[in-house]
Amino acid sequence: MIKDIINQFPYILPIIEILYLLGIFFLAVRIIMDTRNTSKTLAYLLLIVFLPVIGIIIYFVFGVNYRKNKFYTFKIERNEKIYNEIQKYIRETHHKTLKNRGDELDCFVSTINFLYHAGHSPLTEENQVEVLVNGEEKFAKVFKVLQKAKHHIHLEYYIYDNDKIGNELADILIQKASEGVVVRFLYDDLGSGNIGRKLLKRLKEGEVELSPVNKITFRLLANRVNYRDHRKIIIVDGNEVFTGGINVSDKYINPNPKQYWRDMHLYIKGNGAFYFQFLFLSNWIFATEKIPQISQDYFNYKHDTPGSTIVQVAASGPDTKPSIMLSTASAILSAKEKVYIVTPYFIPVETVLNAIKQAAIAGLDVRLMVPKSGDSLIVNAAAYSYYEELLESNVRIFFYKKGFLHAKTMIVDDLLASVGTANMDVRSQELNFEVNTLVFDKVVNQKLQDVFLNDTKDCVEVVLDEWRKRPKYKSFFEHLARLFSPLI
């Protein structure tokens, strides 16, 4: 039938070809004008040229810059409204902490002030911070703290599974809601695909207020799949916070030793909770389009037993500046002795990659710990493509073999430690809603150093000469994967 139409109208095929080429041309112009990242621009141009039709679909699903969309303009406006109501406290807290503790933080002042100006994130003192290794330590502490909640519980998670841990946590949330505690729960509709309708229904019937951050109707064609809420946050009574890499899922408590998950989380009590509350309420209003009555109880400034640890929060998302990426690079460039990085996915943006190489070439002790095998063949290959140049720059690389390394931590010298949700890849650094916690404390730093050094016992160190002997076809595939790494 199509052949008959072409025979009857011989000019239709050339017209279609011309229209298609014009469409490709105007789409290429849009990509060039709309995509700030050079490598990402080139990757999308390659896609639409060498993968006709399919490449165009991939771009419109994953590549459109929705930062310019009215959808996110609404969120930015609401963020500013909340900030305007609390800016006095943020400003006073930041400058007071710098005045009281600035001498201790001299080499990191540039990073600290960047986060304050870029994202309204204040430097806070009077915090207690506890490092929680793996889900076994996290959930025991979480359940204990939640049982004591008096006013509210706020949760925001990328993955929430309908399993043993998920249901135990749900039981506590429902119990606290029945006691009159306000319970609000945000989840990522993509990451929490296994939460199930029954569990969501049980939570709703238990008077837990809940909402997906970005509702996904058709998963394969969702134009907001690109911007995932990858945060993991629990806030209790505006004073206590849990955050880090551990989602709500049984696999994080390691019921199966053969499928070991290695991860890291933080428990924070004190003024550091303030900014997490700001982030949560901003996303809650964005997701539900409802503004709750915000009282003093949501921002608890007074503490019975104030700690001495200094905390600042780096947050990124489609509604903010790339604070995590730039603060990570800034912190690395501020180092004097050492930088230890742990990440499950290493596909860094150029800014961070160059900072790491510069620190190592300058003679600092720079170490990178990554999984021996990731959970994606293409992602793993793209990460492998960076290792030779890192090794040539004197970065020491350790492959973790015991299981899947999911922690996202960074240690800078003996004072700064970062624990967060952001992987060291393009998606986390530029697209997702993410949050990292910067802790300025020698005790916390030492704890993370001890964990890092202990984990090296379950690692094999990569040697440059041996790495160069790998088959050429593997190297080619890795560099091919790297070309498309901005899209992964």
Name the DSSP letter for residue 335.
-
Which residue, 185, 193, 192, 180, is CA-closest to 169?
A: 185
Q: Which of 189, 263, 319, 413 is catalytic?
A: 413
Unique residue bearing structure tokens 């296994």: 194
Half-sphere exposure of 225 (CA within 13 A, CB side): 17
Q: What burial letters (b/e) apply to 321-360, b meaning 16+ CB within 10 Å?
A: ebbbbbbbbbbbbbbeeebbbbbbbbbbbeebbebbbbbb
Half-sphere exposure of 240 (CA within 13 A, CB side): 19
Are the beta carbons of 425 and 347 closer than 8 angstroms? Answer: yes
Q: Which of 40, 75, 94, 406 is catalytic?
A: 406
Are the beta carbons of 420 and 231 closer than 8 angstroms? Answer: no
Q: Which of 75, 152, 232, 447 is catalytic?
A: 232
How many CB atoms sit inside 10 A of residue 407's CB? 25
Q: Which of 408, 441, 447, 455 is catalytic?
A: 408
Q: Which of 188, 237, 319, 455 is catalytic?
A: 237
Q: Quote the CA–CA distance of 231 and 212 in Å, as a whole number.
A: 13
Q: Is 406 a catalytic residue?
A: yes
How many CB atoms sit inside 10 A of residue 436's CB? 25
Q: Is 230 a catalytic residue?
A: yes
Q: Quote the CA–CA distance of 83 and 120 in Å, as a whole number.
A: 8
Half-sphere exposure of 38 (CA within 13 A, CB side): 3
- Report the first-to-last Cα separation within the chain, whole angstroms: 40
DSSP assignment of 359-423: HHHTT-EEEEEEESS-S-HHHHHHHHHHHHHHHHTT-EEEEE-SSEE---EEEETTTEEEEES--
If DSSP states are collapsed to H, E and C, what string results for 51-65? CCCHHHHHHHHHHCC
Q: What is the identity of the amino acid at 3?
A: K
Q: Quote the CA–CA distance of 447 and 99 in Å, as a whole number.
A: 27
Are the beta carbons of 415 and 448 closer than 8 angstroms? Answer: no
Residue length, the chain?
A: 488
Q: Is 232 a catalytic residue?
A: yes
What are residue 131's DSSP bridge partners?
266
Q: Which of 40, 176, 230, 265 is catalytic?
A: 230
Q: Quote the CA–CA distance of 192 and 215 in Å, as a whole number.
A: 11
Q: Is 408 a catalytic residue?
A: yes
For the annotated catalytic residues, the residue numbers are 230, 232, 237, 406, 408, 413
